């Protein structure tokens, strides 16, 4: 189960890294095909790991 979470987190991180502009969780969910709430949880994880930041315009990779 841990490996599965990591895979999902990697998909979210990859979407952020590839984006030219900040993304909302809804946009990330659409890009990755993941559930909105799953995306939000993984964004929180990425922020705790200092790999993503939330800006007024949306989320970005660090």
For residue 37, the domain's CATH number is 1.10.10.10
Of the candidates 41, 50, 62, 48, the one whose C-alpha atom is nearest the C-alpha of residue 28 is 41
| Residue 47: predicted pLDDT | 97
Average pLDDT over residues 19-27: 97
pLDDT band (50, 70, 90) for residue 7: confident
Q: Is the pLDDT of residue 45 over 80?
A: yes
Residue 42 belongs to domain spanning: 2-61
Which of 6-10, 26-30, 36-40, 57-61 is least confident?
A: 6-10
Tally of domains within the chain = 1
Q: Return all residues near 35 (Cβ < 8 A) that are at least 6 apart.
A: 29
pTM for the predicted model, two decimal places: 0.86
- In the chain, at which residue ranges do the beta strands (DSSP E only) sit? 52-55, 58-61
């Amino acid at each position: 189960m841990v490996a599965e979470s990591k895979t999902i987190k990697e998909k979210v991180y990859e979407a952020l890294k590839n984006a030219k502009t900040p993304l909302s969780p809804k946009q990330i969910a659409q890009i990755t095909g993941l559930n909105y709430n799953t995306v939000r949880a993984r964004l929180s994880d990425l922020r705790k790991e200092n790999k993503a930041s939330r800006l007024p315009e949306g989320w970005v990779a660090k």
